[in-house]
Each structure stands twice: as C-alpha cells, then as structure tokens.
Amino acid sequence: MRINKYLAEAGIASRREADRLVEAGKVTINGRKPGPGDQVEEGDEVKVNGTVVRPVVKKTVIAFHKPVGVITTMDAASPDNIMEALMSAPVPPPKARLIPVGRLDVSSSGLILFTDDTALADRLMRPDSGTEKEYDVIIDREPTPEFLAHMAKGVRLENMPAPQRIVMTRPAKVKDVGATRFLIIITEGKNRQIRRMCEALGYEVRKLRRTRVAGVELGDLPEGEWRPLTKQELASLA
C-alpha cells in the first residue's frame, strides 16, 4: 500500500496532505524517511512525528436526515445540536467517534453524513473537492427562466463572512420542477449559499432540503433517523 493511502486510511490526513507530510520529513517507515511513492508492507512500523500510526480497521459512514431546527454543531452545551439529534434517533447510532461532514443551516433539513474517518471528512469538505450536493428548493413565487439561468451560471454574493466579503458562486445544475420548486446541484458549500443566491436575485427560500451528497441519496429516510451506507454509496465517496 502506498504511504499516502496508508496514512489516509489511518485517518491522519487526506492523500494529498499525506504527501506533504512525507515531503516535510515527518513520516518514517521502519525508522527511515520514505519518498511520496514508497510502499508500506505488512509488519512495517509507520510513524508520524514519532508516533506510531495504524490504519483504522473499519471506517463508519452513515446518512442522517437532519430536521429543521437542529443546529449543525458538536457543542454539547448548544441546545438543539446535531449530536443530540443523532443520539435521539429511534435506533442508537454506531459506537464510534462520529463527526458531521459539512453543515446544514438551522432552517434547512435533509441529508448529512457522519463518519469517524477524519481524512474522508476533510476531503469531502475541501472547497476544491468538487463533491456534488443536490437540494430541493421551494421559493416564494414561480421562478422565471432568467432566474434559473442566473442560478446556473453563478451569482455574485455580497456581505459574506470574512475573509472574502464578495464572492462569485460556481456554475451549478438547475432544474425547474414546476410551481415554486426547483432542484439545484452545487459543488461548493458557502455559508447559507443557496438562500443567499436566491436573495441576491430577489427571491426568498421557503423550504430547503438536501437530497444527495455525491452518490448518497436521502431517499425515504425519515427525519431524525439514520442508516448505514451501501457499498456502492461508500465507493462514490472514495
């Protein structure tokens, strides 16, 4: 197994970040400093900054349907936090150190992934990951063709949180599904992005639900419940 994959499976870093650790001389295999493409054989001792690391035998990734009103924070002192919501599911979640992958604002519902694989979480949340996220959106009035085309082309957003106060969203895939509803697929996750995009074009979001992340679908998973991922879904995140 290549050293960068070994470190990624140990939950130390993504493969790209693992290469940087190797190049910085912070990794050893049996006491020697490897190159980025070196292999780790069975029985080898791998250390990062002098600490032995081993791949996690089994990674846990689950899908959770976040209800409206739940805050995506791991702060146990925060009311209505997402960890409390997950632990309150009808079926207890796996006994693993799970963290949410990304965020959904308090007024939105839908799919959010949890995992104990920090490298996977970091990779999926990286701005340049290109991970597709699909949303079902209901707005305050029927969208015009110009509005939909503008949403697909990209929208200039102002008054954003620091460090960038003004940003241009990436091109998105948009589909009109009738009345005041449309679907949108984005590959980024700026703060309240879809709501801000609609507001910038004079529309108000009445309901926002995330229905897909990469190849993982929300499907008919009830609000406040979770399920394990299938092998195909796990492969879509690789």
Report the CATH number at residue 73.
3.30.70.580
Task: Give the integer Cα–Cα distance in Å for 137 and 139.
Answer: 6
Mean pLDDT per 10-residue segment, the chain (238 residues)? 88 88 94 92 92 80 97 92 96 93 96 92 87 97 97 92 85 96 95 95 98 97 97 88
Overall domain count for the chain? 3
DSSP state of 204: -
Same domain, 198 and 160: yes
Cα separation values, 81 from 36, 61, 68, 76, 105, Å? 40, 19, 11, 7, 11
Sign of CA dihedral 199, 201, 198, 200: negative
Residue tagged active-site, from 19, 38, 44, 105? 105
pLDDT value for 56? 65
pLDDT value for 57? 62
Same domain, 15 and 43: yes
Annotated active-site residue 105? The verdict is: yes
- For the whole model, what pTM was predicted? 0.76
Same domain, 206 and 221: no
pLDDT value for 222? 98
Same domain, 113 and 161: no
Cβ atoms of 63 and 111 within 8 Å: the answer is yes
Same domain, 162 and 44: no
Cβ atoms of 196 and 30 within 8 Å: the answer is no
CA nearest neighbour of 18 among 34, 32, 30: 34
User: What residue numbers bound the domain in which 14 lies?
Assistant: 3-52
